[in-house]
Amino acid sequence: MKQRTETTPPTTPAAPPPAPQESPPPPSRLAVLGLLLGIVLATLDGTIVGTALPTIVGELGGLGHFSWVVTAYLLTAAVSTPIWGKIGDLYGRKGSYLTSITVFLAGSVLCGLARNMEQLIAFRALQGLGAGGLFVGAMALMGTLLTPAQAGRSQSMIGVMLPVAMIGGPLLGGFLTDHLDWRWVFYVNVPVGAVALLLVGLLVRLRGERGTARIDYAGAALLTAGILALTLLGTWGGTTYDWLSPQIGGLALLAAASLAAFARVERRAPEPVVPPRLFRDRNFTLAQVLTFLAGAAMLGAAGYLPQYLQFVHGMSSTESGLLLLPLMLGMMGAQLYIGRAVGKGGRYRAYPIAGAAVATAGALALLTVGVDTPAAVASALTFVLGAGLGCLLQPSLLITMNSAEPRDMGAASGTNALLRTIGGSLGVAVLGSLHTGRLTGTLTNRLGPDGERLAGGELTPALLHGLPEPARDAFRAGVTSGLHGVMAGTAALCALALAAARLIREVPLRTERKAAAPAD
């Protein structure tokens, strides 16, 4: 009895009670909707502009700057994503999120008002700067307001919105351009963003004190340089410049040197942009690997399957987009199911393992698609790939949120979004190189030097009908061969994801909400 009284401090019973009082109140469904709308804006705008670009170039001119309308947006969005996350951790996640929406909407309005291509590119860069904070801000706020167990359903909705925006974006962009004006591709963001501002501003409640730490400017600058080099490498490699050209080699060296220096700086910085402590958690590191690989596979498949449907089966852009609905539905169904199952206390480790295996099988199944395969059969096969990718992406979000401490929620969300963006960009570039190589090889074998010139030209599905029958048949065979190269690469990516998924440990999801970060 004497020993027990000496080892029990008299003040310990009074310590625990304040903690529940500082926990943020649970958000309403409307508040969660406001967060989800921000993700809709960020994802949709990355795809909606594509179908409007020919009309935009026809009105504003500047065909030589065509690709920069997309590249400027991707560059600033990728560069700013982890920085927005860290700003939210240090100075307030709600304020950071609302600011990013405001910047994005300002850029959208200015894009709609652009009078020449130079203005449009500059305003697209501003728009991308705001877009970088939308996804990471929404994810960080959800990680603060909800436990990983509670957030399963909400995060499954995020997973649903990604494929919907990827496939629905081009359809909506084409509709607005054909029936209204291409400027509405940008103006349509304003009402959606205004609703998100109101819902989050009025309904999201966070408690805590403002932080006093400084941003790691050296780390941010090095990360910016590395991401810029990687994005340009993915954009220019195999298209503007050959993969073995000095320009691409220089970009690769710049990316490697910048990211290596960034890793050294982050280990010494008091408040690093991407805290190295996050990667000490095995599950967090594996979740980022899965996100990178799944992002590459998803964008690669969604980018090159429409080409097969348009060139081989003579479909319009709208028809080819509709035939990708099984891919989207597979992803949506898998992510909704996993979100609900895990939210009810289920285990999550088996899902990425099964998802990687199913996605690998789906990619290999698409290798059987030929020139004479009915479009409906090719479309149905994409469902298997989509379901597998959905089983990869949703657990990666849950594991990321569960592995990070509340003070690092913004940085963790930013890292996850960044790796998905870089994975998609590099995946499209590498898989595109495989597609181009096989297409060119098939045309050269069948048509000789004329085939090589045909592969290097700007051929549209409409122009294909005007070619002689041997050239048409050779081109269709080349596009099919290119799709096989893309699917073989996708299967390899999914096989790597399977190897990584098997290393995940089943760590129980948190069931209690911790207090918000000091910045909030």
Per-residue pLDDT of 26-61, as tens digits, reads 556 677 777 777 777 777 776 677 667 667 766 776
Longest dimension (CA), the chain: 100
What the block records as the tokens of 319 is: 């028809």
Do the beta carbons of residue 254 and residue 229 sit within 8 Å? yes
Q: Is residue 201 part of a domain?
A: yes
Secondary-structure percent of the chain, ordered helix, strand, coil, rounded to 5: 80, 0, 20
Same domain, 324 and 462: yes
Q: Is residue 7 part of a domain?
A: no
Same domain, 300 and 154: no
Q: Is residue 172 part of a domain?
A: yes
The pLDDT of residue 340 is above 80: no
Q: What is the mean pLDDT of residues 153-182?
A: 67
The pLDDT of residue 157 is above 70: no
- Distance from C-alpha of 488 to C-alpha of 400, rounded to nearest angstrom: 29
Q: Phi and psi at residue 504, in whole multiples of 5°?
A: -70, 140
Band (257; pLDDT cuts 50, 70, 90): very high
Same domain, 486 and 340: yes
Model pLDDT, residue 413: 74
Q: What is each CA distance from 371 to 317, 326, 344, 379, 440, in whole angstroms?
A: 19, 20, 46, 14, 17
Do the beta carbons of residue 328 and residue 138 sit within 8 Å? no
The pLDDT of residue 78 is above 60: yes
Q: Using H for helix, E for strand and C for coil, what is the string for 417-476?
A: HHHHHHHHHHHHHHHHHHHHHHHHHHHHHHHCHHHHHHHHCCCCHHHHCCCCHHHHHHHH
The angle, 0 to 180 degrees and rounded to 10, between the axes of the packed helices 325-343 and 152-179 is: 160
- Distance from C-alpha of 466 to C-alpha of 464, rounded to nearest angstrom: 5
Q: Is residue 282 part of a domain?
A: yes
Least confident among 47-61, 170-184, 494-508:
47-61
Report field, pTM of the whole predicted structure over 0.85: no
Q: Which one of 161, 194, 210 terminates a domain?
A: 210
The pLDDT of residue 355 is above 70: yes
Band (22; pLDDT cuts 50, 70, 90): very low
The pLDDT of residue 421 is above 80: no
What is the CATH classification number for the domain harbouring 325?
1.20.1250.20
**Sequence-ordered list of residues with C-beta below 8 angstroms from that of 407, at least 6 positions apart, any chain:** 89, 517, 518
Q: Is residue 14 part of a domain?
A: no
Q: Which one of 210, 244, 266 terminates a domain?
A: 210
Angle of CA points 49, 74, 123, to nearest 5°: 65
Q: Is residue 516 part of a domain?
A: no
Model pLDDT, residue 10: 47
Go through 7-17 and write b for each residue having 16 or more CB atoms within 10 A of its CB, e for each that does not. Answer: eeeeeeeeeee
3 state SS of 145 = helix
3 state SS of 269 = coil
Model pLDDT, residue 356: 93
The pLDDT of residue 473 is above 90: no
Same domain, 290 and 205: no
Q: Which domain holds residue 144?
A: 26-210
Q: Is residue 483 part of a domain?
A: yes
Same domain, 198 and 338: no
Same domain, 297 and 196: no
Q: What is the H or E stretch that residue 396 is in?
A: helix 375-403
- Distance from C-alpha of 380 to C-alpha of 327, rounded to nearest angstrom: 8
Q: What is each CA distance from 175 to 34, 48, 60, 164, in whole angstroms?
A: 25, 10, 20, 16
Same domain, 305 and 432: yes
Count of helix runs (H) and strand runs (E) in the chain: 21, 0
Model pLDDT, residue 105: 92
Same domain, 202 and 294: no
Q: E strands of 96-235, at which residues?
A: none
Per-residue pLDDT of 207-244, as tens digits, reads 554 555 566 778 878 888 887 888 777 767 766 788 78
- Distance from C-alpha of 520 to C-alpha of 515, rounded to nearest angstrom: 10
Q: What is the mean pLDDT of residues 7-33?
A: 52
Q: Which one of 193, 210, 227 terminates a domain?
A: 210
Between residues 330 and 154, which one has the greater pLDDT? 330
Q: What is the H or E stretch that residue 176 is in?
A: helix 152-179
Provide long-range contacts, Cβ within 8 A and 24+ apart, for 179-183: 182/52, 182/55, 182/56, 182/59, 183/111, 183/112, 183/113
Where residue 509 falls (left for φ over 0; alpha for ψ -120 to 50; beta otherwise) is: beta
The pLDDT of residue 457 is above 60: no
Same domain, 460 and 326: yes
Per-residue pLDDT of 301-318, as tens digits, reads 777 787 788 788 887 766
End-to-end CA gap in the chain? 45
Same domain, 171 and 80: yes
Q: Of 383, 375, 351, 342, give the one whose Cα is nearest residue 504.
A: 351
Q: What is the mean pLDDT of residues 424-431?
A: 74
Same domain, 341 and 475: yes
Q: Using H for helix, E for strand and C for coil, what is the string for 401-412?
A: HHHCCHHHHHHH
Same domain, 167 and 307: no
Q: What is the mean pLDDT of residues 342-353?
A: 78
The pLDDT of residue 6 is above 70: no
Share the mean pLDDT of the chain.
77
Between residues 282 and 306, which one has the greater pLDDT? 282
Total number of domains in the chain = 2
Q: Is residue 257 part of a domain?
A: no
